[in-house]
Structure 1
Amino acid sequence: MFHEGDLIIYSVHGVCRIDDVCVKSLAGVSKSYYELHPLGNETLKISTPVDNASVLMQKLMGPEEAKTILDSFQAPGIQWIDNNNERHHSYTAIVKTGNREDIVQVASTLMRKKQLAELNHKKLGNQDHQLLLGIQNVLFKELAIALNITYEDVISEVHEKVAVNL
């Protein structure tokens, strides 16, 4: 269970701060809820049951795990799937698990494909581009917080590590 003030990863919203843990009654049923908001968006308030298994909520990684995750961008990544729909379905399913090591493999592969496409004056496909942006929005911001560096520094370091295996 998380506590007031904790920073967590909450689904597609990324890094969120828990503002309160409270009990609410709806239709005569009382449940514990997290009241939270995404960092950088104080106006968006999210209320979710503490026992909500349908949404990914996980504790922020620590500095050691973050360093390991950042270093793992040097690895080649996940196998490329030529079929766009199969690739999108497979890669999205991996990202939804919340397993950071697996997410890095997907991001690493997409970043390499993006760099190769740009070298050929092309663009990464829209679905792949959107998935990569989503990963960056969540994982890269989490890495920045865990390592106490800027988001831009994370992007720079990741690009350097990805470029090693082009």
Structure 2
Amino acid sequence: MFAQDQLVVYPAQGVGKVERVESQVVGGVATDFYIVRILGNNVTLMVPVRNAANVGLRPLCAPELGAEILESLRDRSGFTGYTGQNWNRRYREYSEKLKSGDLADVAYVLRELLLIGRDKELSFGERRLLEQAMGLITLELACVLDRTQDNVRAEIEEMFQDVLQAREKSE
């Protein structure tokens, strides 16, 4: 059970704040809902309390895990380079990982797209996924590491400075 004012993560939407728990009658049955305001876009979601785990609503990661995730972005050993895989297939795979709500999966998508972008221009959809992954990672890490989102983004961009500079030269 989440408490009022607790920060939580809703998959693919990001960090939100539980504004309240509210009961409503739906189909003749009283149901409790978490009213969650997503911090990144100010959207309000109603999440049934009894279904919260099934939709992936979770607490913020621990600060230790946040620091590990941030450090894991530096590791490029698992990246085999752009393999010519169909962008549509990558898009579906990466979309599923973002919807999972797992911070390690989101970090994987971010790292892969940044590195693929070094070798080739990303499609419009891939650029959107890159921005979504960046937003999801930076906001949650900013909250758990007690930093600003801009500060976390700057650190990630610095990690991938060689990639970003190569992309700028090719454009």
- TM-score category of the 2 structures, normalised to the smaller one: 0.7 to 0.9
Q: Distance in 2 between matches of 1:105 and 1:13?
A: 17
- Residue 4 of structure 1 and its aligned partner are, at CA, apart by 0.9
Unaligned 5+ segments in structure 1 are 118-122
Q: Which residue of 1 aligns with 2:160?
A: 162
Q: Which residue of 2 aligns with 1:10?
A: 10
Tell me, what secondary structure is at the counterpart of 2:50? coil
Tell whether 2:100 aligns with 1:100. no
Q: Is the 8 A contact 1:66 1:146 kept in 2?
A: yes
- TM-superposition CA deviations, 1:25-62 (whole Å, max 9, x none): 122111111012122555x4322211235533111112
Unaligned 5+ segments in structure 2 are 167-171
TM-score normalised by structure 2 residue count = 0.81
Q: Which residue of 2 aligns with 1:68?
A: 68
Say how many residue pairs are matched. 160
Tell me, what secondary structure is at the counterpart of 1:51? helix
Distance 1:100 1:12, change over 3 A: closer
State the Cα RMSD in Å: 2.3
TM alignment of 1:129-144, pairs within 5 A: 129-144=127-142
Q: Is the 8 A contact 1:23 1:32 kept in 2?
A: yes
TM-score normalised by structure 1 residue count = 0.83
- TM-superposition CA deviations, 1:73-131 (whole Å, max 9, x none): 011255555211111111211222222112212210111223444xxxxx421111111
Tell whether 2:47 aligns with 1:27. no
Tell me, what secondary structure is at the counterpart of 1:124? coil
Amino acid in structure 2 at the alignment position of 1:49: P
Q: Is the 8 A contact 1:32 1:50 kept in 2?
A: yes
Tell me, what secondary structure is at the counterpart of 2:122? coil
Amino acid in structure 1 at the alignment position of 2:129: L
Amino acid in structure 1 at the alignment position of 2:125: Q
Structure 1's consecutive aligned runs of 4 or more residues displaced over 3 angstroms after TM superposition are 77-81, 162-166
Tell me, what secondary structure is at the counterpart of 1:9? strand
TM alignment of 1:73-152, pairs within 5 A: 73-76=73-76, 80=82, 82-117=85-120, 123-152=121-150
